[in-house]
Every structure is written in C-alpha cells, then in structure tokens.
Amino acid sequence: MGRRTKTITKRVRERIDIINDLLNKYGCMTLRQIYYRLLPTLNLPYDKVLYACKRGRQHGLISYDKIVDRSRPVYKMSTWESFADFLDAVSYSFHLDYWADSPAKLEIWTEKDALSQILYETARQYHVKVCVTRGFLSVSNKASWGGRNVTILYFGDFDPSGLFIDEDLKVECIFKNFKRIALTEEQITKYNLPSVKVNKNNPLAKAYLKEFGDECWELDALEPSVLRQLVKEALEKHTTFNLERKREEEKGIMKKVKEFVANYSRF
C-alpha cells in the first residue's frame, strides 16, 4: 500500500486531505456535493474532483463508505431464518400513519436521486415519503403518483430543465398544490451559491437565458444541513397534529407488537 501511495502527486494528495476534511464535517456525501463544497475555494473542474476521489479511495486514503452513489439501487427479496425472526423484524418496522386524520397529504418530490436520502432523513421523522423524478416524469408516473388531495413539496435545480419540470408537472398532473421549496432565487442569493454555465444546447435554454442569464445553479450546491432544515420548515407549515403525541402512540403499538412476538417465541 505504501508503494502505491507514492504514485499520488503532492497536489492530488492535498486535495484528498481537503476532501477528507469535508467528509469528516458532513458525513457521507455524493461526488456532486463534494464538488460544490470545493468550488468556492479550489474552483476545480468536476473531473479533477472525481479523479482525486477515485485515487484517494484506490489508495486507502478515503473510505469507500464515505462517498455514496445513490443512483443505482439494488433489488432483493427479504429472507428470514424463521417465522419468529420475521415477527421480530415486524415489531421494529411498524410505522403509524401520522397523516391519516389530517386534511393535508404531503409528498416530497425531487429530481435529484443523489440527494433523496438527505431529504428523507428529515421527511421520515414526519412519515412523509420522498419520490425521485430523475428529471421529467413519464406519463405512467404522472397518472399514478400524487393525487387531488396531495400537496407536492418540490426540490430541484435552478436551470432550464429544472424550472421547466415545475411547469410540466403543474400542467399535466392533477395536484391540489405544487410548491417549489428549493432551489429558489432567494436561496441562491442568501447562501451565495456557486453557479455553473448554462448548457446552451438544451432546447429549453433560450427562454432561460433571456430571463436569468447564462448561469444556473444545482440543488447539490446547498449544504446538507440547509436541505434538512428546508424540509423541516416545509413540513412544519402543513403539520396539523401533535408530532410527539403521534410518536408516543406509535411507541405504544410497537410495545404491544413486541410483547406478542415475545409470547410467540416461547412456544
């Protein structure tokens, strides 16, 4: 390992050290998030960031677990050694529908699969699901997602495609409410977010360039802590129930389920 590490140049090693500082501060991050955290100070092209992360992991200087790629899901069947093990898992996986008696039905939507887990970290505390559109939704998804009584809280890029997604969904989906939570012009200014150049080959670029200029901004540029806070604030505005009371009710049901499992295991 020591001989291989020497092949990394001093400059790349310095970048790896800075990347590790970011990972220690923020925890797990995507490559895109690392890129935006480095942009204000190092102003590195994305491929240079990618290279430093790759070399750092290859040489054991960056943990593979610290940099995540959430765009490639794995599908598998849940299996159990026994029925008792299954019941035990059920006792821990029970979740109460907090919104069953609420007039509001909320869903969080995002075009950025890489950020979905950050959004879900907060959304799951309110038992609200996160849907990943990955750009423009298909006709099938538009017909089956959401619904008339659902309020969509949307997180997307501020660029030609990202802004047009809003209009596309508003026109073709039957939603009671559709609200863009991020990214907004106000947030871009407030957090002094770094920009990237507009892809002028994008068929939607012409209208965007006329209104906003040749710079655009990605949702990834927001710090994870800011994203979590935006989710929390958006959900709190629509929460009509006592969250702590719901959690206590859920714990009470889980306790009964665990007692049932314990009694079953005795036989």
CATH number at residue 126: 3.40.1360.10
Residue 21 placed within a domain: yes
Clarify whether residues 103 and 52 are in a common domain: no
Residue 200 placed within a domain: yes
Residue 245 placed within a domain: no
Clarify whether residues 54 and 137 are in a common domain: no
Clarify whether residues 221 and 144 are in a common domain: yes
User: Is the confidence at residue 4, as pLDDT, over 50?
Assistant: no
* CA–centroid distance for 245 within its chain: 27
Clarify whether residues 110 and 38 are in a common domain: no
Which is higher by pLDDT, 72 or 81? Answer: 81
Clarify whether residues 161 and 217 are in a common domain: yes
Residue 225 placed within a domain: yes
Clarify whether residues 216 and 165 are in a common domain: yes
Q: Is 182 left (phi over 0), alpha (psi -120 to 50) or beta?
A: beta
Q: How deeply is 36 buried, as exposed, middle or buried, from its count of CB atoms within 10 A (0-12, 13-18, 19+)?
A: buried
Give the whole-number percent of the chain exceeding pLDDT 70. Answer: 90
Total domains present in the chain: 2
Residue 241 placed within a domain: no
**Which distant-in-sequence residues (6+ apart) come within 8 Å of 106 by Cβ?**
99, 126, 128, 150, 151, 153, 235, 238
Nearest CA among 33, 37, 29, 34 for reference residue 68: 29
pLDDT digits (tens, 9 = 90+) for 154-191: 999 999 998 988 777 766 665 668 899 999 999 999 99
Residue 64 placed within a domain: no
Clarify whether residues 135 and 30 are in a common domain: no
pLDDT digits (tens, 9 = 90+) for 210-225: 999 999 999 999 999 9
Residue 172 placed within a domain: yes
Q: DSSP alpha helices (H): ranges in the chain?
A: 2-5, 10-26, 31-38, 46-58, 83-93, 116-123, 139-144, 160-172, 185-190, 205-212, 224-236, 243-265
Three-class DSSP category at 218: coil
Clarify whether residues 47 and 103 are in a common domain: no
| Residues 106 and 150 sit within 8 Å (Cβ to Cβ) | yes
Clarify whether residues 52 and 114 are in a common domain: no
Nearest CA among 121, 108, 149, 136 for reference residue 234: 108
**Listed ranges 14-23, 167-176, 251-260; the one with the highest mean pLDDT:** 14-23
Clarify whether residues 229 and 107 are in a common domain: yes
How much is the pTM? 0.75
What residue numbers bound the domain in which 114 lies? 99-236
Residue 70 placed within a domain: no
What's the rounded Cα separation, in Å, for the pair 265 and 186? 57
| Residues 38 and 44 sit within 8 Å (Cβ to Cβ) | yes
Least reliable range by pLDDT among 12-26, 49-63, 93-107, 140-154: 140-154
Clarify whether residues 46 and 112 are in a common domain: no
Three-class DSSP category at 246: helix
Clarify whether residues 13 and 105 are in a common domain: no
Any idea which residue has 């898992």 for tokens?
Answer: 89
